[in-house]
Chains A and B, each alone.
Chain A
Amino acid sequence: MSYIRMKYTKWYQTLKSGLSTQNPILISVLGICSALAVTNQVQNAIAMGLGVTFVIMASSATVSLLRNFIPSKIRMVAYMVIISTFVILVQMFLKGFFPTIEKSLSAYVGLIITNCIVMGRAEAYAVKNPVKYTLIDGFANGMGYTLVLVVVAAIREALGFGTIMGMAVMPAGWINWVVLSMAPGGFFVIGLLAWGMRSLTKNYEE
């Protein structure tokens, strides 16, 4: 009973659209540069996903708080400054606590700034909504992004290296599909996943 009632609340809808029906990567095709470039290993994907989730939530909340003070003409630059502040935070955090991950992500951490999802949520959602909904929206979109990243990374790491999180998962004698651990593999896996997602949700593009 309570589940049925919950289904119609705003936060449930927000959460659902971020995770599946409006999934930022597979349906809206935003923020794919990082999704393709860092997903050859699961641990990189998790670090990147959580970093982006944090940046989306923090910057959306800030934009939402300041939405009545930012003049609309210079709002893009204002968003950029807010976003890059949080990205620098993430970068310093990774450098301090997880130096190996920071090294393998290298420039891609800085490129969170130009991740279209962050800017997109600020522009499409945060400027019109109060803080508590922007936090849920940021969380949902961040998690939708992280989920896809981890799935892609798991497929690529399992087939490309024969491991997941460094543990061997493939039977002995498995020959690595090296191409999946390089750039083309990312394209193929994301393309096929987008195909699957569109077929499942019957959301076709004509």
Chain B
Amino acid sequence: MERLWDIFIASILSQNIALIFILGMCSLIAVSSSIKNAFNMGLAVILVVTVTAMINWPIYQLLLLTNTMNLALLVFIITIAATVQLLEMVIEKYLPKVYNSFGIFLPLITVNCVVLAISLFFMNRDYTFLETTVFAFGSGLGWMLAIVLLAGITIKMKTISNIPRGLKGKAISFIILGILALAFFAFTGIGAI
């Protein structure tokens, strides 16, 4: 139980998937124009990451048994694409309200590297099923934290600060993320991966 708690805290703070491992940047920067969008994108990522990690773990055990680990990448990416498609259909059918708020973000997640990275990380770290689930959920939460923070700061900056012309838009997002990453280094030592 303690180990699970360690992994959970570490994956949100000291080993934050967005700010320390630098993953999922494309969508992080593209969707950070409003807090509401950022929040929805974060929720979609948490959902997809957790579900795909839970599906990929037993598949990886099967690959281990048959000694075909080289195919892991190919198999993982197909599972992810299929899962996203399936989730999209299920949510559209049964939860149309949620579907409308997710909008285009759900299909975009297939190419979000966070999802594939989680599957590759649990593979490299030999996690058990429970550890994988906790790690995936925590990482999704950490990613959501990062995108909401970035969106909040970007919006504030638009109104109160005078940004040089060339830095406007995406360039300033990098600088903000750099400072955020620096701040997250303060969490080093909390939890263990």
Given known pairs A179-B182, A187-B178, A191-B174, the reply for A205 and B117 (CB within 8 Å) is no
Inter-chain CA distance A186–B115, complex, in Å, is 22
Contacts of B179 in A (CB 8 A): 184
Say yes or no: B70 contacts A92, CB within 8 Å: yes
Say yes or no: A198 contacts B175, CB within 8 Å: no
Residues 78-124 (chain B) with a chain A CB within 8 angstroms: 78, 81, 110-113, 115-117, 120-121, 124
**Chain B residue with Cβ nearest A26:** B171
Give which listed residue, B22, B115, B174, contacts A188 with CB less than 8 A.
Answer: B174
Say yes or no: A76 contacts B81, CB within 8 Å: yes
State whether the Cβ of B26 lies closer than 8 Å to any Cβ in chain A.
Answer: yes
**Chain B residue with Cβ nearest A85:** B74
State whether the Cβ of B177 lies closer than 8 Å to any Cβ in chain A.
Answer: yes
**B118-135 interface code vs A (CB 8 A; 1 in, 0 out):** 001100100000000000
Contacts of B22 in A (CB 8 A): 33, 36-37, 183, 186-187
Q: A24: shortest Cβ distance to chain B, in Å?
A: 11
Inter-chain CA distance A188–B167, complex, in Å, is 12
- Number of chain A residues close to chain B: CB under 8 A: 45
State whether the Cβ of B189 lies closer than 8 Å to any Cβ in chain A.
Answer: no
Say yes or no: B166 contacts A119, CB within 8 Å: no
Contacts of A198 in B (CB 8 A): 166-167, 171
**Chain B residue with Cβ nearest A37:** B22
Given known pairs A84-B74, A188-B174, A194-B171, the reply for A116 and B116 (CB within 8 Å) is no
State whether the Cβ of B58 lies closer than 8 Å to any Cβ in chain A.
Answer: no
- The SS class assigned to the B binding surface is helix
Say yes or no: A84 contacts B73, CB within 8 Å: yes
Say yes or no: A191 contacts B175, CB within 8 Å: yes
Contacts of A206 in B (CB 8 A): 168-169
**Chain B residue with Cβ nearest A119:** B111
13 A/B residue pairs, CB under 8 Å, sorted by A: A29-B29, A33-B26, A76-B81, A114-B116, A119-B111, A183-B181, A184-B178, A185-B178, A187-B177, A188-B175, A191-B171, A195-B167, A205-B171
B: residues with CB less than 8 A from A are: 19-26, 29, 70-71, 73-74, 77-78, 81, 110-113, 115-117, 120-121, 124, 164-175, 177-179, 181-182, 185
A: residues with CB less than 8 A from B are: 29-33, 36-37, 76-77, 80-81, 84-85, 87-88, 91-92, 106-107, 110-111, 113-116, 119, 179, 182-188, 190-192, 194-196, 198-199, 204-206
